Structure 1
Amino acid sequence: MVIFGFDLYNTKVPMHTETLQQFYERTKQPMPAELASQANVSHFNVKQRTCLNRMTPYNRRDYYKICLIIGQGMHVADGRETPIEGAGIIFSNPGVPSSYHAVSESQTGFYCLFNDTFLLNSVRQEVRYRSALFNPAIQAVIPLTTADQERFRQLFGEMESLLSGTYTYRLDMIRSVLQMIILEGIRLQGPVVSENTNDRLISRFFGLLNQQFPVDSPENPLRLLTPAAYADQLSIHVNHLNNVLKKSTGKTTREIIHERIVEEAKTLLLNTDWDAAQIAYTLGFEYPSHFNKYFKQNTQTTPLLFREQLRHAN
């Protein structure tokens, strides 16, 4: 596809991944203080969309973004074009390269953006599987009726009002409203297309995964740590489990398990006084050094630095 002489799909050009800091620089908005001074800090923002008549860069992002579009435009994701006529909501998966080109001069609505650290385990894995925000196999754009528009306007407006307030637990309330937006999107998009037997297997897998969490005591460490362990519990071959999950979620069994362990590690670091060794043992690591290396590979920071930064921010 070529827009204004620029080839969106030129594979010779390395695909750029935009960071939150680069987003604020590109849109000429003030840099939030926490992003300017710290790494891996929790971040959320919501804004009203103003008149827009240009194309956003076609790239990946290291953050999540949900846009309520009121106006005409073209959404491009991973080589697929989806027109928006009148109104639609876009759930942008960070790993999927995408762009939005506003067609009509009048563009309103809202957008919100946030990172994994902000979510902090608030969205269950089976919900992630069914949402385009996390599952690249699902269509990112959902057309909206007038009633749907109003519903999403109210939800975005509620988040905007909460964010500008001073209530101590406003971010927790925002997470709840954000979940409502994600769930509304799942409701409107309809069921995920899959074979019944595969759908039941996926539900059983996530049910088994959820049974392992939350971890409530160092005396009760995780028991199921590998794809093979889950496959044994489900009485299927590990390759079959992996193929079904990969086809439906875009992620391997190991990736899903690792994501859940990292999310639980973040929750324990923020909400408990357990030391790194206790958390490491509870999450199935034989040595704290292995846990430190694993956590840093997945978050680009150490467990103790993550705890210090997040508690300071809160």
Structure 2
Amino acid sequence: MRREIVVFKDIATLLRGLKTVTPKHPHFQIHRFEDAPETQVNETTIFRSNTYVVILLLDGEADYKIGLHDYHMGPGSLYFLGPQHLRYYKRNENNWKGFVCIFTDEFTTNTKLPNHFNDYPFYSLKGNQKFQLEGKLLQKFTQLITQLYHYFEVSALENCWHQLHIILNESRKLHRELYEESEVKPGTQLVIDFNSALEKHFYDVATNKAEYIFSVNDFAQILHIHPNHLSNTLKKYTGETAGQLIKKRTVLEAKSLLLSTEMSVSQVAYFLKFNDTSYFTKFFKGAEGSTPKEFQRSNKR
């Protein structure tokens, strides 16, 4: 039997499932950990949520699994969770202090401002989700998030959007400084749109809303362009074709499931819309150089 993956569809169901605060807005919420009730869950099962999260922990400790990574969080930890991440946490103590900010794509839609949340590396499976801050850097982000909290308390939602994007952009710069060795390649609107469509599709796969993994032609149709133009543009700006990016994203999802759940190889294959386990094994081995079972055995704790 596989461990069930709970999916929380919005902020209200997420916070209700974690037995914490009641949200004040359906698409944006920020609160302090110290204001959460004692009923809040200290250890979760594996879950997903159709939300983006920014957390700054000022006091307390916890162990997290976010996507493919395991993290220990402590004072000064700034971390991020996105819709494509499998999530799990275990709080090691109850005296948490800090801020948790949760938002959805609809928050941007309602404020009529642009949304490229999937363009931030820490919301993808490939990026690092945690920064350990100290000194002036910790002071800087504490001030930024405190200001966001104050805007929310006075219901200045448009100011919240702008302050949130300052925080996300500062975090992206920090991610580049700490984790990205090579110069960031220039992006285009098409690359951004493709990445957004790709992440939305895999969330649909994860929540059983998709019948199969989309092909290059499917994404080209969504983006209203010719498949060759899509692949050529992606190759120019990312170094990989649309087909290669789809394959890489499929493998990342498979690896996350293999490491984070009790699903068998055949269950992962079925979950990812492969009709044949042997084909999934061949597909995975072609990308990783090992079978899914070998990968699971050598990496899972």
Q: How would you bin the TM-score normalised by the shorter chain?
A: 0.5 to 0.7
Tell me which residue corresponds to 1:29: 21
Displacement of 1:137: 0.9
Verify the 8 A CA contact 2:121 2:128 in the aligned structure 1: no
Q: Which residue of 2 aligns with 1:295?
A: none
Aligned residues: 213
- Structure-2 residue corresponding to 1:46: 30
TM-align CA RMSD:
3.8
> Which amino acid is the alignment partner of residue 241 of structure 2?
L
TM-score, length basis structure 2: 0.58
| Corresponding residue for residue 272 of structure 1 | none
Residue 79 of structure 2 contacts residue 130 of structure 2 at CA under 8 Å; is this kept in 1?
yes
Match of 1:190, SS?
helix
- Which residue of structure 1 aligns with residue 241 of structure 2? 241
Question: Which residue type is aligned with residue 182 of structure 1?
Answer: L
Q: Describe the superposition over 1:15-44 as per-residue Cα deviations: whole angstroms up to 9, x where unpaired.
A: 111132322323253354x65xxxxxxx10
Q: Contact (CA 8 Å) 1:60, 1:96: kept in 2 or not?
A: yes
Please point out which of 3, 8, 14 is paired with 1:18: 8
Higher Rg of the two aligned structures: 1
Identity %: 14
**1:122 Cα deviation from its structure 2 partner:** 4.4
**Cα 1:139–1:239, aligned 2, differ >3 Å: closer, same or farther?**
closer
Matched, 1:61 2:54: no
Does structure 2 retain, via aligned residues, the 8 Å contact 1:123–1:179?
no
- Specify the code of the residue in structure 1 equivalent to 2:54: I
Q: Which of 131, 141, 146 does residue 152 from structure 1 map onto?
A: 141
Aligned to 1:96: 85
Matches of 1:64 and 1:251 in 2, distance apart?
Answer: 21
Residue 106 of structure 1: SS of its match in structure 2?
coil
Which residue of structure 1 aligns with residue 231 of structure 2?
Answer: 231
Distance across 2 between alignment mates of 1:243 and 1:195: 23
Q: Is the 8 A contact 1:25 1:31 kept in 2?
A: no
- Give the distance between the partners of 1:235 and 1:55, measured in 2 at CA: 42
Note the residue ranges of structure 2 that are not aligned, 5 or more in a row: 194-221, 252-301
Per-residue Cα deviation, 1:48-76 (whole angstroms, up to 9, x for no partner): 11288822443110111111112322111
Could you say which residue in structure 2 is the equivalent of 1:261? Answer: none
Runs of at least 4 residues off by over 4 Å: 121-125, 191-196, 207-211, 232-236, 243-248
Tell me how far apart the structure 2 counterparts of residues 194 and 243 of structure 1 sit (CA, whole Å). Answer: 25
2:164 to 155, 164, 178: 178
Question: Which secondary structure does the structure 1 equivalent of 2:84 belong to?
Answer: coil
Q: Secondary structure at the match of 1:132?
A: helix
Provide the C-alpha distance between the structure 1 equivalents of 2:49 and 2:2, rounded to a whole number of angstroms: 19
Q: Secondary structure at the match of 2:122?
A: coil
Within a 5 Å distance, the mapping from 1:72-221 to structure 2 comes to: 72-78=61-67, 80-120=69-109, 122=113, 125=116, 128-133=118-123, 135-166=124-155, 170-190=156-176, 193=180, 200=185, 203-204=186-187, 206-207=188-189
Structure 1 unaligned blocks of 5 or more: 1-10, 36-42, 212-221, 253-314
